[in-house]
Amino acid sequence: MREDLGRNELFQTAHLMILIVYTLFSVALMTITVLLEWETWALIPIACGLVLSWILHIHQKVPEMARLWVYSLLMMLIAFFYGIHTTSTYDLAVVMCGILVIFILTGIPALINLAMVTYFLTFAYDIAAYVKSGGDVDSLFVSRTMMHIVVMYIIGYVAKIIMQTWNQVLQRTDERISVLTQATETMNDFLVNMSHEIRTPVNAVMGLSRVCIEKEKDEDIRTDLLSMEAAGKRVAEQISDILDYSEINMEHLVVNEEDYMLSSVLSDLVSQLRSVKPDHLELVIDVDPVLPSVLHGDGGKLKKILWHLIVNGLKYTKEGGVYVRLYPIEEDYGINLCIDVTDTGIGMTPREIERVYEGFYQANSGRNRSSNGLGLGMSIVHGFVTAMKGFVTLESDPGQGTTVRISIPQKVADPSVCMKARNSEKLILGTYLRFEKFSNPSVREFYNAMIRDIVTGLKVQMHRVETIAKLQKLVDSVKMTHLFVGDVEYEANREYLERLAEKLLVVVVANDDFVPPKGSHVRVMRKPFYCFPVINILNSDIHTKETKDGALRCEGVRALVVDDEPMNLMVARGIFSRYGMTVTCAESGSEAIKLATEHVFDIVFMDHMMPEMDGVEAMKRLRTETGRRDLPVVALTANAVSTAKEMFISEGFDGFVSKPVEMEELEGVLKKALPKSMISYERPKTREEKIRVPKVLGIEREKATDWATEEKPVSFSGDQMSGGEITAKDQLLRFFGIDVEKGLHYSQDDRQFYETLLKEFYSDSEKKRASLSLCIDKQDMKNYSITIHALKSTAKMIGATDLSEQARLLEEAAKNEDVSSVINHHATVMERYRHTTEGIAAYLGITGDAKNDTAGDADDGAGGATASQQDAGAGSQPQDAAGVTGSAHAENDGIFEFMPEDDK
């Protein structure tokens, strides 16, 4: 429809112009009729036709094309009436030329023909009437008549040529617009599909990184793992940005409205910002205390809007900081949530402000420090705000910073204020903050504005001093309840402030690297300095024991995780086990229903795309067949488009978590879905407690399997199997098309875990091949695409890149219902699949007889769901590889040679 937009606008313009010209012509003709005493009876039909035309236009019940023809025919009738009078014989040509110009705009050649026929009939009638009345037919009459006929014919002909050329130009333009629109949609589809596919390995990287961080003792390795996790988060954020931008561009964005607490949104936001805010920049968040505590809207998109604005401000600021102010404007429907974000950065030119909403826009990196990212931030902000029926304005000058102002309409779910100090009349606050330490005067104003808003909003007393001498005088003259000091001020006057902290509550506002001395009495409030932590401080005193929530725990919670992909089950078991849950895994909806009818679970995490029965159907049947309508079921899927959450919630899910799993998002869903009695917080652990090695993925680190050092056709020493080093034995996998380095990369260079993935891939191969063959026999492309999708992901995880790519092509063909292509290439890909699994068998030393035992090991390692799976092969040991097609032979110096059966 987009390519017809320009044509439709022109058509509507011509349509209205014809009606207006017809109206003016009718009014003029009625006036002439009265003045020249023409046939007065004609006034009635002329007026009726005019009234009819406007009734049709106002009610819009008749199709546009039909109305256009009605207006045109009526206009030709009054033109004929005008032209048949002898005084208008030669004047009619001028009138008809004007009508032809209007008709050209319609692009309808038939209207040109109608006008020409009307003119020539009228003109012929006039000539015949003139001759019949005995008029003088001289040379002047003949020449004038011939001139009018020729000129009108030429004008009609030129009008047709213009219309034909114009239609050709419009057609070519429409074709080009269609091509560009299709290319844009193809690109957006590609971005969405690519982002969805990348989420699966990123989920594994982030999830297993967090698991390894929790159990790693070596501090250097923990640092590396934290860097790996941070890189994974950055990739996940960029994937999310691509999805958001694509949805905005395709106009598929959906606003998910629900009740949310502004304090929770800001708390999560500040936690994420701490990892990206440079220590030398200040971030001040000023929240009006009168904002309602609970609003109704899309809290997730609000957090993303704030995230992009703040990160963008930090990115383009060398010195100073970013100031964020949130305040309400009351309206009949609730409030307009107003957000002002001001930075002291490089600023923008008027041209840059015009371009800021264009996709992939970034300021010239040559004018500022090197910046990264995709350049989608402001485009996403503008798209989100527009979708939420708000507006965005920018104010900026080069070198003077930028202010972005946003207003978003929000309904009020709870009108009580978002923060309130208990006994505010008894609170007397003091601040010892030397703002002159900030070289940028704007930062000093940021802090002054925030403190002023807190004091006036909470109606408390505050005394501010900037020197230690004035502070001492203040302490002697005023009995304060709370004193806020900066970290620099504290370090300069530590002894005095520590003595003071024994009599009143002293709070040090500091960066994350600040560590108070052992035995200190002061409280520490980490930057950024904003209102909600201040309220928590004000609602306590020196006698209130400071408590900090430790890690979220769900001890004893029985969780059922449903996913058709074994590797995802491994990741999920590792993540959920961290919270103290007892995790059971199921590989299909039917298996989940069977488990749920036999056992009691407290919560279910359900994948969406699964063969035979998708996650929505499985959720509904699970609740029906167990009779537990209140059983919390959370969607756990890589489908992260904005419509996904709304769809899952509307279908009856109790929550939605996208892959890769963000711990903050997961914990927020757990708090909502589980009863409060199942949520607890452990006390903060000591360093010794934190590095205790847990049992993860069903494998104890100290009980590594012995097969790596057993005597086989290919033998190795134990030290060859450690870490991420590539061993000589890995050449065997490379022969079979498996890139060991890539596989180890996806496994965080944990060889034991990588070998567990190989076992799982091998043990699952026969089942997958059988499932795919069955789909081929039934020509069931839907389930074929789901199963081949799983093969594509798992092959990529172990490093079988070529097999993964071939599976991807088959998946695309299956999704497009291209049955012939799937059938033609299925056998080739399955042969490659078999060849790959044979290589894995040779690598692991698995014989045909040992396959079932190995499958049991893999299921146990992956957290296999059912009791039968867990008992199938626990503790089994791989055997000799003699039963595998082809063999590996050990040579001197760890050099290996693989000989296929045909060559032996």
Give tens-digit pLDDT for 523-549: 888 888 778 888 888 887 776 655 555
Average pLDDT over residues 823-834: 89
Instruction: Check whether 613 has a pLDDT greater than 90.
Output: no
Residue 49 is predicted with a pLDDT of 93
Instruction: Check whether 488 has a pLDDT greater than 60.
Output: yes
Percent of the chain past pLDDT 90, that is, above it, reads 22
Residue 302 is predicted with a pLDDT of 92
- Assign 196 a pLDDT band (cuts: 50, 70, 90): low
Unique residue bearing structure tokens 């060398």: 318
Higher pLDDT, 850 or 246: 246
Per DSSP, 743 falls in state H
- Classify residue 778 by burial, with Cβ atoms within 10 Å: 0-12, 13-18, 19+: exposed
Highest mean pLDDT among 229-233, 336-340, 613-617: 336-340
> If DSSP codes are grouped into helix, strand and coil, which group holds residue 284?
strand
Residue 484 is predicted with a pLDDT of 92
Residues 6+ apart with CB under 8 A from 462: 428, 429, 430, 431, 451, 455
- Assign 847 a pLDDT band (cuts: 50, 70, 90): low
Instruction: Check whether 441 has a pLDDT greater than 90.
Output: no
Per the CB < 8 A criterion, the answer to whether 862 and 585 are in contact is yes
Instruction: Check whether 876 has a pLDDT greater than 60.
Output: no
Average pLDDT over residues 271-280: 83
Instruction: Check whether 864 has a pLDDT greater than 90.
Output: no
Hey, which residues does 594 pair with through a beta bridge? none
How far are the Cα atoms of 13, 69, 208, 558 from residue 58, in angstroms, in the given order?
15, 16, 65, 65
Instruction: Check whether 641 has a pLDDT greater than 70.
Output: no
d(CA 7, CA 499): 80
Average pLDDT over residues 459-474: 89
Instruction: Check whether 648 has a pLDDT greater than 70.
Output: yes
Lowest-confidence region among 125-139, 644-658, 810-824, 873-887: 873-887
Half-sphere exposure in the Cβ direction for 499 (13 Å, CA) = 5
Per-residue model confidence as pLDDT tens digits over 82-106:
999 888 888 889 989 988 888 888 8
Residue 323 is predicted with a pLDDT of 94
Instruction: Check whether 885 has a pLDDT greater than 60.
Output: no
> What are the tokens at 66?
């039909």
42-47 long-range Cβ contacts below 8 angstroms, 24+ apart: 42/81, 46/78, 46/81
- Assign 261 a pLDDT band (cuts: 50, 70, 90): confident
Question: 475: closest CA among 451, 503, 456, 455?
Answer: 503
Instruction: Check whether 370 has a pLDDT greater than 80.
Output: no
Residues 6+ apart with CB under 8 A from 868: none
d(CA 879, CA 839): 15
Residue 244 is predicted with a pLDDT of 78
Per-residue model confidence as pLDDT tens digits over 221-247:
877 887 787 777 777 777 777 777 777
Percent of the chain past pLDDT 70, that is, above it, reads 81
Higher pLDDT, 122 or 872: 122
Lowest-confidence region among 6-15, 287-296, 480-489, 605-614: 6-15
- Assign 81 a pLDDT band (cuts: 50, 70, 90): very high
Higher pLDDT, 647 or 800: 800
> Which pTM does this prediction carry?
0.52
- Assign 559 a pLDDT band (cuts: 50, 70, 90): very high
Instruction: Check whether 31 has a pLDDT greater than 70.
Output: yes
Instruction: Check whether 902 has a pLDDT greater than 60.
Output: no
Average pLDDT over residues 660-684: 80
Higher pLDDT, 425 or 24: 24
Lowest-confidence region among 171-185, 500-514, 766-780: 171-185
Average pLDDT over the chain reads 79
Higher pLDDT, 159 or 852: 159
Instruction: Check whether 850 has a pLDDT greater than 50.
Output: no
- Assign 43 a pLDDT band (cuts: 50, 70, 90): very high
Unique residue bearing structure tokens 């992909």: 565
Question: 460: closest CA among 426, 417, 493, 419?
Answer: 426
d(CA 322, CA 338): 16
Alpha-helical (H) ranges within 467-614 are 468-477, 487-492, 494-500, 531-538, 566-577, 589-598
Residue 886 is predicted with a pLDDT of 35
Lowest-confidence region among 331-340, 584-593, 826-835, 892-901: 892-901
